A and B are shown apart, each in its own frame.
Chain A
Amino acid sequence: MNQYQLISTIKLGVKSLMLHKLRSILTMLGIIFGVCSVIAMLAIGEGAAYEAQEDIKKLGSNNIILRSVKPPEDANNQNNSRGGFAISYGLTFADSSRILASIPGVNRVLPKRIIRENARFSSNYVPVQVIGTYPFYPEMSGAEVIAGRFLSVPDERFKQNVCVLSSGLAQQLFPYQNPLEHAIKVGENYYRVVGVLREKNMADQRPQSGKMEGEPLDNNIYMPLSTATTRFGKTIVRRTSGSMQAETVELHEITIQMLEDDAVLTADQQIRWMLKNKHEKMDYEMIVPLQLLMQARKTQQMFNIVLGSIAAISLIVGGIGIMNIMLATVTERTREIGVRRALGAKRRDITTQFLVETVVLSIGGGVIGVLVGITVPFFVTYFADMKTIVTFWSVLVAFGISGFIGILFGIYPANRAASLDPIDALRHE
């Protein structure tokens, strides 16, 4: 079998299929739907997983995030007669420095204090959250300084009354002015605006869920941690409908950045042990984005396996359809087979001829299926507003399987054609 023969066999296969166009198209439909569903389903799955993983990645895959949580026992005590007393919980500066000093592989530790306050400039009055943090906050969170500068090391050291506004807040407080070098009033004091920051995403700015519900997430004021601690104090008093609540929380959040992703999983255990020894109550929570990411990937893998099996079944059904038609074709063309054998065709030539025809059918179906399969996710994105990603490998796999199905389900009819006795085949009406 040389190259020339193969080409002429393929041409012949196409010709034979063109002789029954409707039948060929109907036969291909099975493969078309199969391939199309593989690509479309995987694209939708991939898109959903991508979004979930992106959200996690924004937290930083080499980060470990600790957050202060009000322990449940204290919530009970508060309802008792002891209401009105300051309750103390959460992460401390000591935790922060201990982690930096004793956990191997730690690059930086970024503590945060988050305080709810109101900010005012001229007649604009906006509820905000004050975030006291270190100068390297933008580098770690991926936020971008879009005007002025971020907080500096001297700001931190000398407890300067300076602040940086998030872009959303800057627009609300200064709708018509450049906010730089203006003083805004937050709580009891005035702070000079030195910069505007655009957040990479808002998800990691959400303080403790449940407490700040309905709060615009974007209304952030960043100031040096030292300033925030001094100006607002460790104890935050909130007056709500006649009663008074006081909470003493040193740090609301600690973000630990590891030097490498690999260090995260070991550090995770060490930090867990360390905090367990130092905190009597579970007044903190730990978020390991890398673990979440790994879980998300595992989930996606399972999702892919399920989708893949369903799609594989539909491809097999398509393949059976092809086999069925090819068996009918072999019977129908028995005479032709006999003639070809009489004119010098070997069994192998007949096998090849019918196998090529089946493969042309399934590959043709595969090509159409790929084209449709690539457009379907586009429509899904357009109409259902879901992110979809058509990956190269899903196209490759779907196409490969369709070719494989063609061969698999073509072998039997082709062999049957080849095994016909030329005399019987010639006599066949």
Chain B
Amino acid sequence: MHALRGVDLQIAEGSYVAIMGPSGSGKSTMLNILGCLDRPTEGQYFLGGDDVAQMEDDILSNVRGKRIGFIFQSYNLIPQLTVIENIQVPLIYQSYDLKEYMGRAIELARMVGLEERLDHRPNQLSGGQQQRVAIARSLINDPLMILADEPTGNLDSKTGLEVLDLIDKLNADGKTIVLVTHDPKVGDRAQRVIHMKDGKIDRDITNR
């Protein structure tokens, strides 16, 4: 039993792709492989020109840190850190000097509208604000691709829209976005929607 089978997919730089499908369709596995959290048992995965499919754990960690920005459904901020520290977490693991990148971190916080709350902790923020911190965090290392896993799943529709607008803006600025959702309204925002079923790509629709 394989969660994914015979998937052949190419995502162009700068595109906005939504992956949709019922639970058990393999979209989570797809996301894990795209995010270099999991390795395919067979096949190849080229990310920015390198085959990362069978890389070692340590190198994969580096690839994740440098080339991929994650946005999760439940935000996944680190509770003991402040907003600005949360944004800086990926820098630590790339051995970057936090002081040198402080300006960039603050700029990202401003972009997501949280420059007033740099010293707040996640439990002092609303869900929408937390998700915006997560977006800023995903951008700090200037990744090739942003992977968003149900980014609006825990948000009410109004804040959800705000977050989606922010993601649209990132795409408009040239970032590659891959977004997993089961909400057709969310999927409609993408240029391209991939429907998955039983571990295979069922339909691949390009909007507009």
Contacts and interface: CB of A to CB of B under 8 A. Distances in A.
A423 B90 CA distance: 18
B95 A5 contact: yes
Contacts of B97: 4
A16 B85 CA distance: 13
Contacts of A157: none
A335 B38 CA distance: 17
B69 to A, nearest CB: 9
A353 to B, nearest CB: 10
Given A4-B97, A423-B32, A343 B80 contact: no
B89 interface: yes
A426 B92 contact: no
B78 A339 contact: yes
Contacts of A340: 78, 89, 93
B58 interface: yes
Contacts of A113: none
Contact of B64 (A5, A336, A344, A347): A344
Given A344-B65, A344-B90, A349-B93, A426 B76 contact: yes
Interface string B79-113: 11100000001101111011000000000000000
Interface residues on chain A, size class: 20 to 34
B190 to A, nearest CB: 22
Interface in A330-358: 335-336, 338-349
Interface in A396-426: 422-423, 426
A101 B64 CA distance: 90
Given A342-B64, A342-B70, A343-B70, A15 B81 contact: yes
A347 B65 CA distance: 13
A8 interface: yes
B48 to A, nearest CB: 15
B118 to A, nearest CB: 16
A422 B37 contact: yes
Contacts of B61: 341, 344-347
B126 interface: no
A266 to B, nearest CB: 67
Contact of A426 (B72, B94, B137): B72
Contacts of B70: 342-343
Nearest to B77: A339
Most buried by A among B38, B93, B98: B93
B124 interface: no
A335 B76 CA distance: 8
Contacts of A426: 37, 72, 76
A347 B62 contact: no
A12 interface: yes
Given A343-B93, A344-B66, A349-B93, A336 B78 contact: yes
A342 B92 contact: no
A345 B70 CA distance: 13
A19 interface: yes
Given A5-B95, A19-B79, A339-B78, A347 B58 contact: yes
B119 interface: no
B93 A344 contact: yes
B139 to A, nearest CB: 12
Contacts of A18: 80
A2 interface: yes
A16 B80 contact: yes
Interface residues on chain B, size class: 20 to 34
B37 A423 contact: yes
B128 interface: no
Contacts of B94: 344
A81 B62 CA distance: 107
B76 A423 contact: no
Contacts of B95: 2, 4-5
B104 to A, nearest CB: 16
B35 interface: yes
Nearest to A427: B28
Contacts of B141: 344
A15 B89 contact: no
Most buried by B among A15, A339, A341, A423: A339
A343 B72 contact: no
B57 A346 contact: yes
A299 to B, nearest CB: 52
A343 B90 CA distance: 5
Interface in A216-240: none
A20 B32 CA distance: 33
B65 A19 contact: no
A8 to B, nearest CB: 6
A18 B79 CA distance: 12
A19 B62 CA distance: 29
Interface in A14-29: 15-16, 18-19
A413 to B, nearest CB: 18
A345 B80 contact: no
Contacts of B92: 5, 8
A347 B59 CA distance: 11
Nearest to B35: A342
Given A5-B92, A423-B32, A426-B72, A342 B80 contact: no
30 contacts: A2-B95, A4-B97, A8-B98, A12-B81, A16-B80, A19-B79, A339-B72, A339-B78, A341-B37, A342-B35, A342-B64, A342-B70, A343-B64, A343-B70, A343-B89, A343-B137, A344-B61, A344-B62, A344-B66, A344-B94, A346-B57, A346-B58, A346-B62, A346-B93, A348-B58, A422-B37, A423-B32, A423-B38, A426-B37, A426-B72
